[in-house]
Amino acid sequence: MQSLVYILPEIFLFIVATVLLVTGLFVKNIRLINSLAIFSLFVAFVLILNQPFQSAFLNSFVVDEFSLVLKVMIIVGSIASLIMFVSSKDDLNINVYEFPILIIFSTIGMMVMVSANDLLAMFIGLELQSLSLYVLAALNRNSLLSSEAGIKYFILGALSSGLLLFGISYIYGFSGNTNFNLIAVNINPESLGLIIGIVFVLAGLAFKVSAVPFHMWTPDVYQGAPTPITGFFALAPKIAAMGLLVRFLFNSFGEIYIDWQQIIFFISIASMMLAAFAAIAQTNLKRLMAYSSIGHIGYALIGVACFTDEGLRSLLIYLMIYLIMNIAVFAFLLSLKRNDGYFENTSDLSGMHKNHPLRTMLIALIMFSLAGIPPLAGFFGKFYIFVAAIESEMLFLAIIGVIASVISAFYYLRIVKIMYFDEPKEEFDGSSIKSLNLLYYPSSVLIIIFFIYPSPVINISEYAIQSII
Amino acid sequence: MSEIPILSILIFIPVVGIFFMLLIKNNDEQSSQNLKHTALWITFLNFIISLSLLFSFDLNNPDFQFVEKYSWIESGISYHLGIDGVSILFVILTTMLVPICILASYESIIFSVKEYLISFLALETFMIGVFCSLDLVLFYLFFEGGLIPMFLIIGIWGGERRVYSTFKFFLYTLAGSVFMLLAIIYIFISTGTTDVETLLVYNFTSNEQLILWIAFFTSFMVKIPMWPFHTWLPDAHVEAPTAGSVILAGVLLKMAGYGFIRFSIGFFPDASEFFAPFIFSLSVIAIIVTSLIALVQEDMKKLIAYSSVAHMGFVTLGIFTFTVQGIEGGIIQMISHGIVSAALFLCVGVVYDRLHTREISRYGGLVSKMPFYSFSFMIFMLASLGLPGTSGFVGEFLVLLSIFTVNTYFAIFATTGVVLAATYSLWLYRRIIFGALIKDDLSEMFDLTRREIIIFVPLIILTIFIGLYPKPVINIIEPSTEKIVNQIKMKLD
């Protein structure tokens, strides 16, 4: 019974989601349900901040600094996508009250993921999260693309869960434990079975963070899913899966890091390079953002591959900046609306600085930030990643990283080019939506002024990692 | 020391200006005129403040002055500003050229005026920051940050092939600089700091020096630019609006030369000595090859752009002699080129505004219609080819003097560059200004307007003043240069 206190935020959200599910049957006001969901996420946010650090359920669920910071980021991402939902639900044909509820369920799953210290807890969290996401991806039933995205995501996701479970069974079989700490204690560095297990689990997790070579679903799902959901995909699940990956690798297999380091090394390089080249050919903004997120995950994985304090710190800094930049980008995408129709091709942005000067200037700066040009926040994310890489003598990763960032600068610049250099089109009317501006302006201003006082983000990251190493 | 953080004020006045600009509406002729006036006054104010640097600058002190230091990112990386004799003139050059640029854009920029001026103000912040920062991360921040406004200036208000040029400019310089970033990070990790003052007295092992030197070199080589990585420059110059070319030639190229002096030879003297013959070869090739290329250009801006590459060849020659004359010559050459090439681009801008072509063959015989213009153009042309009595001579002379003491062969080849410079400059002048005025559309040409005279007069005065009496300039530069040279000698022994 005592243990239940340690999962209070999760339980609270679960009760809220269930109650809302029933309420939704009778109350047809989707806006109200959405507001309640946002409010309860805020409450969960406060509950998380006030939780004691403890491990529960035979050490299979831990609440520590690391999980706290990641949960806060996840909740921010969830709230952001709920705000995006409310601003676009009518036009996108996703006017269903299940949306906020599914987001909450998925958030619970992600909160379990970042706290999981046991293979089974990890799997439960992962599946709760994934199942909600499968439904969300296919939410727009009238759209062929959305249904396709849902099915694709479901089939590949189920496959990856299968791989993950297969890996878990190997790890359990060859170590005799499912708890991360106990695995670490009883680890047999010589065991080939364990390595096979790690490879399969990593394959499953790489699917969730959409790292190359398990990225194939990303562009299709990003494009097909309704934009608020794409935003959600880009924000929260990546962070949760990254946190899970870190805890899984660092807590249980820290001793044999040499073995998994090369795997992360490879998928990091592959993600950065593939994304840099593949994104150049994209004409759909959501597809482009999909490749962009693949690339960013590649950079974040450098932080994991380092297996040092510095690496972990840089990973968290990177994820935080990534979160803020993506909130701005997706809020921007949703404002590309004219006469109830949404636009998501790069050519639709053509010359938009004529009609929306301030908005365009900010998104152009966000693009430069995504490309990692100083003095914007994206640069600092990359800077810390490279510091970590060079410190752990992974110069090769750093060199590939900078080369990929130069190549990827090209496609970010192309967006700036289209917005500024090309002939203007009609005005977008979505820019007057207040709730979107609430997301868009603060996040882009944060990105721009980040360099003046970067210490808070760095301190939070340092605070978070103390429980891992 | 003064209590006022004057360098920070210089850096952030344009930022404050940007906020003002954002508040002004831009919907009609009148308001865009207001925007231009506001920007002009802000930058002019900045220029006046930067002049006060000159008065309170201690000429006998070779160390950094007006120092500001606050903790910034973490221990080792701080917000550290300061200037010495090497950098002060670049700061003033920057603050002087920006108002001139804005004045020059009064009539040629007609759409998106607000964005244009905001880009220029942001660019000024970054440029001043580069010359003031005494921390490598801060330096990199300003050095790279300047790419964003420049990308927009060329891309939005440029000529026909502006998209190609601006992408080339951005990606070339970015690709060059990222390796410098890795080098900076390596320095940070191995020494625990990126503070320039600390690093100037730090001794890197010779292996480290070689690698780090190459990393810094790739960045500066692209930016200055040296042959064979100069190809972005003519494209960028040709497509950029007049003011963009002015600032590109006037200040952006100097960032790299400044970087060579401050970082390459300051931090890595062994490697610099090792690579000096390599630099000399590249410089001499640049001087001769780009001068020859300049000879056959049909486009005025392209010709001046290639001549910039040749002039920058003299700068690198001087810097890597490690002599006081050489480095001084390099700095004066940069200052002079900053004034003269900026003025030449303005000259091109004047006729371009009237006839909307830069093709040399479309002009001829302008002297009869535009006497004042011809006179100013002549002064700058002669300064550019290094005629004694103009600022161009002082720098070139000091550089050639120093290179003769180091290596005669390089000196001989470099001197041929002076002859070639005279050839292409005078020939350009002849084709545009002299001859008979036979082309019909030229009969409509009118002489300099009052606004244009205001732009040219200070530049002419400076060109001639530095040429006839370079002593004050040398007085400013000398103590710090001597200190740099002594430091290098000490490290090399």
Report pLDDT digits (tens) over A345-403.
888 888 888 888 888 999 999 999 999 998 899 999 999 999 999 999 888 999 999 99
Per-residue pLDDT, averaged over B145-166, amounts to 90
Q: Where are the alpha helices (DSSP H) in A307-350?
A: 309-334
3-state secondary structure of A17: helix
Backbone angles phi, psi at B77, to 5 degrees: -115, 105
Cβ contacts of residue A343 below 8 Å, gap of 6+? A336, A337, A428
In this complex, which of B141, B151, B152 lies closest to A374 when CB atoms are compared? B141
Q: Which tokens in the block code for residue A91?
A: 């036009």
Confidence class for position B122, pLDDT limits 50, 70, 90: very high
CA distance B434 to A109: 80
**B489: number of Cβ within 10 Å:** 11
Cβ–Cβ < 8 Å for B437, B368? yes
Question: Does B171 contact A409 at a Cβ distance shorter than 8 Å?
Answer: yes
Confidence class for position B27, pLDDT limits 50, 70, 90: confident
Question: Does B155 contact A420 at a Cβ distance shorter than 8 Å?
Answer: yes
pLDDT at A247 over 50: yes
Q: Which tokens in the block code for residue B320?
A: 């890597």
Cβ–Cβ < 8 Å for B334, B91? no
In this complex, which of A354, A375, A402 lies closest to B141 when CB atoms are compared? A375
Confidence class for position A1, pLDDT limits 50, 70, 90: low
Residue B419 lies inside a defined structural domain of this protein: yes
Residue B127 lies inside a defined structural domain of this protein: no
Residues of A in contact with B155 (CB under 8 A): 416-417, 420-421
* pLDDT at site A412: 93
Residue B351 lies inside a defined structural domain of this protein: yes
> In chain B, what are the helix, strand and coil shares in percent, each to the nearest 5?
75, 5, 20
Indicate the number of domains in chain B.
Answer: 1
Cβ contacts of residue A210 below 8 Å, gap of 6+? A217, A218, A238, A290, A293, A294, A297
B362-391 residues touching A, CB cutoff 8 A: none
3-state secondary structure of A248: helix
* pLDDT at site A388: 93
pLDDT at B134 over 80: yes
From A69's Cα to the closest Cα of chain B, the distance in A is: 20
Label each residue of B411-458 as H, E or C.
HHHHHHHHHHHHHHHHHHHHHHHCCCCCCHHHHHCCCCCHHHHHHHHH
Residue B476 lies inside a defined structural domain of this protein: yes
Q: Which tokens in the block code for residue B368?
A: 């009869």
pLDDT at A69 over 90: yes
pLDDT in tens, A146-166: 899 999 999 999 999 999 999
Cβ–Cβ < 8 Å for A313, A465? yes
Amino acid at the residue B58: D
CA distance A260 to A254: 9
From A128's Cα to the closest Cα of chain B, the distance in A is: 39
Backbone angles phi, psi at A167, to 5 degrees: -65, -40
Question: Does B141 contact A379 at a Cβ distance shorter than 8 Å?
Answer: yes
Per-residue pLDDT, averaged over A48-65, amounts to 88
Confidence class for position A131, pLDDT limits 50, 70, 90: very high
Q: Which tokens in the block code for residue B134?
A: 């005494």
Residue B483 lies inside a defined structural domain of this protein: yes
* pLDDT at site B133: 92
Cβ–Cβ < 8 Å for A65, A463? yes
Q: What is the dihedral of CA B296, B297, B302, B305, to 10 degrees?
A: 20
CA distance B93 to A204: 58
From B403's Cα to the closest Cα of chain A, the distance in A is: 36
pLDDT in tens, B182-230: 999 999 999 988 898 888 888 888 899 999 999 999 999 999 888 888 8
Cβ–Cβ < 8 Å for A99, A136? yes
Cβ contacts of residue A109 below 8 Å, gap of 6+? A124, A125, A126, A127, A128, A129, A130, A131, A132, A240
**B161: number of Cβ within 10 Å:** 12
Residues of A in contact with B179 (CB under 8 A): 402
Cβ–Cβ < 8 Å for B321, B277? no
Question: Does B182 contact A416 at a Cβ distance shorter than 8 Å?
Answer: no
Total beta-carbon pairs less than 8 A apart between chain A and chain B:
86
β-strand partners of B79: B70
* pLDDT at site A160: 93
In this complex, which of B144, B156, B179 lies closest to A374 when CB atoms are compared? B144
From A336's Cα to the closest Cα of chain B, the distance in A is: 21
B9-68 residues touching A, CB cutoff 8 A: 22, 26
Question: B329 vs B217, B335, B444, CA distance in Å?
Answer: 20, 10, 43
CA distance B322 to B399: 11
A90-129 residues touching B, CB cutoff 8 A: none
Choose between A290 and A354: higher pLDDT.
A290
| Residue pointed to by tokens 């190493």 | A469
Residue B169 lies inside a defined structural domain of this protein: no
Suggest the residue from A308, A321, A368, A445 to mutate for an interface test with chain B (most B CBs closer than 10 A): A368
Label each residue of A177-195 as H, E or C.
CCEHHHHHHCCCCCCHHHH
Suggest the residue from A406, A410, A450 to mutate for an interface test with chain B (most B CBs closer than 10 A): A406
* pLDDT at site B121: 93
The percent of residues above 70 in pLDDT, for chain A, comes to: 100
* pLDDT at site A221: 93
| Residue pointed to by tokens 């801006």 | B301
Per-residue pLDDT, averaged over A183-187, amounts to 87
CA distance B135 to B251: 20
pTM of the model as a whole: 0.93
* pLDDT at site B1: 47
Residue B484 lies inside a defined structural domain of this protein: yes
Question: Does B189 contact A454 at a Cβ distance shorter than 8 Å?
Answer: no
Question: Does B182 contact A402 at a Cβ distance shorter than 8 Å?
Answer: yes
Nearest residue of A to residue B188 by CA position? Answer: A387
pLDDT at A192 over 80: yes
Is A390 near chain B, with CB under 8 Å?
yes
β-strand partners of A116: A61
In this complex, which of A353, A399, A410 lies closest to B182 when CB atoms are compared? A399
Is A455 near chain B, with CB under 8 Å?
yes
Task: Tell me: cis bond preceding A213? Omega within 30 of 0 counts.
Answer: yes
CA distance A155 to A132: 14
Nearest to B123 by CA among B98, B140, B99: B98
The percent of residues above 90 in pLDDT, for chain A, comes to: 64
For chain A, state the CA radius of gyration: 21
Nearest to A114 by CA among A61, A44, A58: A61
- Indicate the DSSP class of residue B261: I
In this complex, which of B22, B171, B189 lies closest to A410 when CB atoms are compared? B171
Cβ contacts of residue A270 below 8 Å, gap of 6+? A211, A212, A213, A298
pLDDT in tens, A91-121: 777 788 889 999 999 999 999 999 999 999 9
B159-198 residues touching A, CB cutoff 8 A: 162-163, 166-167, 170-171, 174-175, 178-179, 181-182, 185-186, 188-189
Nearest residue of B to residue A398 by CA position? Answer: B182
Residue B224 lies inside a defined structural domain of this protein: no
Secondary structure element (H or E) that encloses residue B82, with its range: strand B77-83
* pLDDT at site B106: 86
CA distance A212 to A217: 11
3-state secondary structure of A62: strand
pLDDT in tens, B375-415: 999 999 999 988 888 988 999 999 999 999 888 898 898 88
* pLDDT at site A374: 87
CA distance A246 to A461: 14
Nearest residue of B to residue A391 by CA position? Answer: B189
Structural domain including B454 reads: 274-493
* pLDDT at site B57: 87
Q: What is the DSSP string of A103-163?
A: HHHHHHHHHHHHHB-BHHHHHHHHHHHHHHHHHHHT--TT-HHHHHHHHHHHHHHHHHHHH
